[in-house]
Structure 1
């Protein structure tokens, strides 16, 4: 029997990160969760039976902290890391003209720079555990088409997909699997946010008013599992994400017309 495989998940204190942690733990993996939400991480670990688990505080904007967290996790997991899931992210919405510069910087730093820092820090571990190693980046349907009131968030999620595509090519000689997962609207705490400081309306309420579906978070966990074990670059989760990917590819003019006539958000 081979060595137990290990997975490091950012944003593991809730939502997609927690669901992925539980999914892989049930399959017998050694699971590590990192977050700034210590209480949330404790809840995640509490839901995992046995001792094959680890948690650590990590602000993904801190490049040095990445090295420290991955080294600590690798030591706990028997000296190796097989999979990194770059999941930590925040939502930012509203007219660009109304966003505070700090809101813009925070979204870019967490959602995009955090992914780049994670990839850079994890590379030596993933190279060492190849060819079955993988990095899965959580993007969004907002990384498929840019909608009004979502410019900063869409920029980060388009960027996450671009990073994935670039590293899929860059890391191919090392036989590291790279993929992006693009959820539509998923039942996570992100839906309880308002998008920006000047809005009191929850994202969840806007999604329901638009008649769009909200998919179970377990569907994203399954997509992450599929990405680790598959060979596709993009995994679209939920009807909104799949419809948008299809339409953007085959009917780009129609998508543009619809987006110009609408101001609704597009995902995660």
Structure 2
């Protein structure tokens, strides 16, 4: 087994996944990228130092594809996977009655089932490199408190939070750490998407109109490194997420009143 530690990252073709890849790659790790975006992965690879990287095109909704991707990456990395970042995800917004069946099912399949399938598939690899190996799930500030216009997305991110907490207990005996990231609005291409098919207004415009901060993606990458090497179960990233976590814990009634009264949009 190679002495060089290895991390596999879904959604590695852009955004948070790319930032995590660069952060770990710059610190000497062998980096694996998983995505449906081949061009995006090639661009990420071009930014990584040396030749210690590998990319694999696959869909996180396909359970069999997970096994093939991880087996190929483990072989490329010298027989090991120390960290798996369950990061692939898509946004969806707007009122529930505006969301189509296809939009709802796609978000649930990628954001939730994809995380479950990834965890299931990577377990034997992380057990092999334990103790100290880590499953890192990208949740969201939307997994702290649900807000109007975010019912489907929040449901998936509350689910990722629950998966993290469940596996934190399940995998303790195997020596595998399980962690989550809970970022707020991060400066990635996802902010330039529209919330759903019935609106052309981008998410970024709504965030700016709501007076909320957009956190540099590099902060999430640093948080990912700290989460993998630390003891904290959930790592909150960005001012909006931190404010929301504080309010949900210490002022739940006030937070509910604010949300119901049409306060600032919360989530990532």
Report TM bin, short chain. over 0.9
Residues paired across the two proteins, number: 267
Q: Please, what TM-score do these two structures have when normalized by structure 1? A: 0.98
User: What value does the CA root-mean-square deviation take over the aligned residues?
Assistant: 0.9
Give the Cα separation in 2 of the matches to 1:263 and 1:204. 17
In the alignment, which residue of structure 2 is the partner of 1:159?
A: 159
| Aligned counterparts, 1:158-197, within 5 A | 158-197=158-197
| Aligned counterparts, 1:1-268, within 5 A | 3-262=3-262, 264-268=264-268
- Using the TM superposition, give the Cα deviation of residue 125 of structure 1 relative to its aligned residue in structure 2, in angstroms: 0.3
Q: CA separation of 1:65/1:263 partners in 2, compared to 1, >3 Å: closer, same or farther?
A: farther
Q: CA separation of 1:110/1:7 partners in 2, compared to 1, >3 Å: closer, same or farther?
A: same
Which consecutive residues of structure 2, in runs of 5 or more, have no partner in the other structure? Answer: none
Give the Cα separation in 2 of the matches to 1:175 and 1:245. 28
- Using the TM superposition, give the Cα deviation of residue 36 of structure 1 relative to its aligned residue in structure 2, in angstroms: 0.3
- Using the TM superposition, give the Cα deviation of residue 263 of structure 1 relative to its aligned residue in structure 2, in angstroms: 6.6
- Answer yes or no: is the 8 Å Cα contact 1:9–1:32 preserved in 2: yes
Q: CA separation of 1:264/1:193 partners in 2, compared to 1, >3 Å: closer, same or farther?
A: farther
Equivalent residue of 2:187, what SS?
Answer: coil
Q: 4+ residue runs of structure 1 moved beyond 4 angstroms?
A: none
Give the Cα separation in 2 of the matches to 1:267 and 1:252. 16
Give the Cα separation in 2 of the matches to 1:198 and 1:210. 20
- Answer yes or no: is the 8 Å Cα contact 1:149–1:263 preserved in 2: no
Which consecutive residues of structure 1, in runs of 5 or more, have no partner in the other structure? Answer: none
- Using the TM superposition, give the Cα deviation of residue 16 of structure 1 relative to its aligned residue in structure 2, in angstroms: 0.2
Equivalent residue of 2:48, what SS?
Answer: coil
- Answer yes or no: is the 8 Å Cα contact 2:142–2:153 preserved in 1: yes
- Answer yes or no: is the 8 Å Cα contact 2:210–2:265 preserved in 1: no
